[in-house]
Amino acid sequence: MRHVTIARLAGSVLFAAVIAGCASSPAINKEASTSAIRAAEEAGATKVPSASLYLQLAKEELENAKGLAAKGDKDQAESMLSRAEADAELAVALSRGDADKTEAAQAIERVRQLRKDNQLPQERK
Partner 1 sequence: MKPTAYLIIIACAGLLVGCATAPPAELINARQAYQQASAGQAAQLVPAELHKAQEALAIAEQAFRDDPKSFRTRDLAYIADRKAKMAEALATTVAENATTAKANKDYQATQAEIVKKTKEDLAASERSAALKTEQLATANAEAQRVKESTDAEARRIKDSTDAEARRVKQQTDANAEAQRVKESTDAEARRIKDSTDAEARRLAEQKSRDTLIVLVKGTTVVLRGVNFEFNKATLTRDSEIILWRAYNAMVGNPNVRVVITGHTDNVGSQEFNQTLSLKRAQTVKNWLVQKGIASNRMRTVGRGQNEPMSSNETDAGRAENRRIEFFVQ
Choice between 9 and 31, CB closer to partner 1: 31
* Interface positions with partner 1 (CB under 8 A): 54, 75-76, 79-80, 82-83, 86-87, 89-90, 93-94, 96-97, 100-101, 103-104, 107-108, 110-111, 114-115, 118, 120, 123
Least separation, in Å, of the C-beta of 18 and partner 1?
A: 24
Choice between 37 and 89, CB closer to partner 1: 89
Residue 4: Cβ-neighbour burial (10 angstroms; 0-12, 13-18, 19+): exposed
Least separation, in Å, of the C-beta of 20 and partner 1?
A: 26
> How far apart are alpha carbons 22 and 72 in whole angstroms?
8
Tally DSSP H helices, then E strands, for the chain.
4, 0
> How far apart are alpha carbons 119 and 43 in whole angstroms?
38
